[in-house]
Amino acid sequence: MTKLYKKSEISFAILWIVAYVVLSSLADQLSESYGIIKSVTAVLHIAMSLILFFWIRNNDLSEKYGFCRSTIPAKRFLYYLPLIIIASTAFWSGIKLQYGYPGALLYFISMCCVGFLEEVIFRGLLFRAMEKDNLKTAMIVSSLTFGLGHIVNLFNGSGMDLASSMTQIVLAVLLGFVLVLIFYYGKSLIPCILFHSANNALKVFSADGSLDPQTEMVLNLVVIAIVLGGYSLYLVRAFSMKEK
């Protein structure tokens, strides 16, 4: 693994993206066949998270990939309040424990690991590999690949229709852009990981179906247009693109 990384950081990042997407999809299908949601997926995500975490630490790459405190005070990021608003959307339809036990626990664990994995892979490995050549391209590619990766939900048995999937992809692209800005300016991936893990894991307490699909889609679009769009504009204007 280290040899590939030293040879080509981009190839290393792409390998992790492909492995994560493909293996997660297969694990979800196996979990469904066993009748317990995320039963296989949670184990896979824990293993992948541990491998990636210890590999980064053992190769003295913790600072490069943001396993450190932010160099910028939280108040300059508006105390991450826009991210808190995004995470709160899990409760817009009400609160209800999904999946039952042990499915709820496995889902929660899996989604926490997903937050870690996706941030390290897309905001860490991929972005850092491209940043040294072209910062703006690195930000765009990191955001787009993160968003487009969610297209797998059309084929993994999640039941998501085309319109909902497209809305999720657009939301993920904008969210990816906001998170890469936070990582670039603050030099810490920790706020991104904490938000991403919470945003995913809290879905286990979401009362899905309390709102009709059209209303839920409109609410998501409002979040995209107002919260994420506004926050990204604030971050771009509040920090110089030349600021290191």
**How would residue 16 be classed by pLDDT, with cut points 50, 70 and 90?**
very high
DSSP state of 62: T
The more confidently predicted of residues 80 and 240 is: 80
List C-alpha distances in Å: 93 to 5, 18, 240: 43, 33, 38
- Whether residue 95 is predicted with pLDDT greater than 90 in this model: the reply is no
In angstroms, rounded to a whole number, what is the distance separating the alpha carbons of residues 87 and 202? 8
Average pLDDT over residues 155-180: 76
Calculate mean pLDDT across residues 210-223. 68
So where are the chain's domains? Answer: 2-238
Dist. CA 23–CA 198, nearest whole Å: 22
SS3 192: helix
pLDDT at 58 over 70: yes
Using the structure block, give the residue that is written with the tokens 């997660």: 24
More confident residue, 168 or 189: 189
Return the structure tokens found at 192: 């991104």
Using the predicted structure, report yes or no on whether residue 51 has a pLDDT greater than 50.
yes
What does the pLDDT read at residue 209?
A: 57
Residue 164: pLDDT band with limits 50, 70, 90: low
- pLDDT, position 244: 45
DSSP characters for 100-166?
-TTHHHHHHHHHHHHHHHHIIIIIIIIHHHHHTT-HHHHHHHHHHHHHHGGGGGGTSS----HHHHH
- Per-residue pLDDT for 52 more than 60? yes
Any idea what the Cα angle at residue 167 is, between residues 165 and 173, rounded to 5°? 100
